[in-house]
Amino acid sequence: MLMHETMRWFGPHDAVSLRDIRQAGCAGVVTALHHISVGDVWTVDEIQQRKALIEEEGMSWTVVESLPVSDDIKRQKGNYLAHIENYKISLHNLAGCGIRVITYNFMPVLDWLRTDISYTMPTGSKALYFERLAFVAFDLFMLKRPDAEKDYTATEIEKSKQWMSAHTEEQKAKVFQNALLGLPGSSDRFTPEEVLAALKTYEDIDTLKLKEHLFRFLKEVVPVAEKLDLKMAIHPDDPPYPVLGLPRVVSSEKDLQEIVDAVPSPANGLCYCTGSLGARPDNDLTGIIERLGKHIHFLHLRNTKRDAQGNFFEADHLGGDADMFEIVRELLLLMKQRNVSLPVRPDHGHQMLDDLDKTTYPGYSCIGRLKGLAELRGLQYGLSRSM
């Protein structure tokens, strides 16, 4: 049994078309209704319109990425009760339209973070890159977050000062703009004022409290999902550790285990992302499959190359720190054991070839993801034949 191959599509305004994705050999599309404000209901009409576009190109839409969780829900303040009820209604509407997997995350304020969205590789292709020291410099001296120095060692602070001195204003501006990128599917950037104001609303929320809020959210929505035969799949934090003084609670195997234990249900599960989890050297990627495999409902297969300083970049799908051979083998065994074909998508491909002259969402150009998909397809085909 092979994986159900998909690609992420950001909707009609995406520079990568549905026809492009179909030509890549995908049977399905992973998408979301990014034009609907976070916290509002996804109506049946809006869902059906998006579904019709995908089916017209001969593909299916069975995985949502993402049905976003509002910051009000994460903080349990403001309109969070109304947002939870709207979330339940959206789940009903998605299930009625044939959607089966609901991906979401619980990262406060910001989504994934990178300091360079066009890091030049030796081949000339462009990759996403997170430079730890550049991010510290951004936090301390560009964003100027109050009391940020409490989160860093004296050595980190001194080295970040040296980083500021060694880089041009243009280079600093690039880091500043990249760190303030908006949510996936949006071309907007956050302003420093917006981020600082949002951070202030989390001042009384530590790791324990944020985790409690996640568990309360799950206790509300998972029973609904279970009745509807939906699978909830939480995406790990990216990077998988606290940033900007914000707690992050989906970063380690321990976090994942606590999440599935908090609300035991076949509907309460995981999006297994080898890139996000693999950015932490203490995460055992194959071990997570072995121990938590029955809770995995969606796969993001990508690879990162990290160093001891906390830097990492998006490597070739078969070329980073994650042992993709062992990971794919374990996943094939898992699917055989569970008698399921898990949906998978290649993630964060390099910008390369003709795509170097196109403007796409960072990490989501077509050719780099096609290359990653082809590598993963060949790997799993070879492994499945040998098994």
Active site residues: 235, 273, 300, 347-348, 364
Could you tell me the pLDDT band of residue 189, with boundaries at 50, 70 and 90? confident
Inform me whether the pLDDT recorded for 173 exceeds 90: yes
pLDDT at position 183 is 66
Mean pLDDT of 346-375: 95
**pTM for the whole thing?**
0.96
Closest CA relative to residue 185, chosen from 38, 42, 361? 361
pLDDT at position 111 is 86
Mean pLDDT, the chain, rounded, equals: 96
Mean pLDDT of 279-296: 97
pLDDT at position 387 is 87
pLDDT at position 143 is 96
Could you tell me the pLDDT band of residue 12, with boundaries at 50, 70 and 90? very high
pLDDT at position 172 is 97
Give the separation between CA 129 and CA 113, rounded to whole angstroms: 9
23-80 pLDDT per residue, tens: 999 999 999 999 999 999 999 999 999 999 999 999 999 999 999 999 999 999 999 9
Could you tell me the pLDDT band of residue 181, with boundaries at 50, 70 and 90? confident
73-100 pLDDT per residue, tens: 999 999 999 999 999 999 999 999 999 9
Burial class from Cβ neighbours inside 10 Å (0-12, 13-18, 19+) for residue 271 reads buried
Reduced 3-state DSSP string for the chain:
CCCEEEEECCCCCCCCCHHHHHHCCCCEEEECCCCCCCCCCCCHHHHHHHHHHHHHCCCEEEEEECCCCCHHHHHCCCCHHHHHHHHHHHHHHHHHCCCCEEEECCCCCCCCCCCEEEEECCCCCEEEEECHHHHHHHHHHHHCCCCHHHHCCHHHHHHHHHHHHHCCHHHHHHHHHHHCECCCCCCCECCHHHHHHHHHCCCCCCHHHHHHHHHHHHHHHHHHHHHCCCEEEECCCCCCCCECCECCCCCCHHHHHHHHHHCCCCCEEEEEEHHHHHCCCCCCHHHHHHHHHHHEEEEEECCEEECCCCCEEECCCCCCCCCHHHHHHHHHHHHHHHCCCCEEEECCCCECHHHHHCCCCCCCCHHHHHHHHHHHHHHHHHHHHHC
Could you tell me the pLDDT band of residue 213, with boundaries at 50, 70 and 90? very high
Q: What domains can you pick out in the chain, each with its CATH number?
A: 4-112+204-386 (3.20.20.150), 116-196 (no CATH)
214-257 pLDDT per residue, tens: 999 999 999 999 999 999 999 999 999 999 999 999 999 999 99
pLDDT at position 155 is 96
* Percent of the chain with pLDDT strictly greater than 70: 98
Inform me whether the pLDDT recorded for 182 exceeds 80: no
295-345 pLDDT per residue, tens: 999 999 999 999 999 999 999 999 999 999 999 999 999 999 999 999 999
Give the separation between CA 102 and CA 298, rounded to whole angstroms: 9
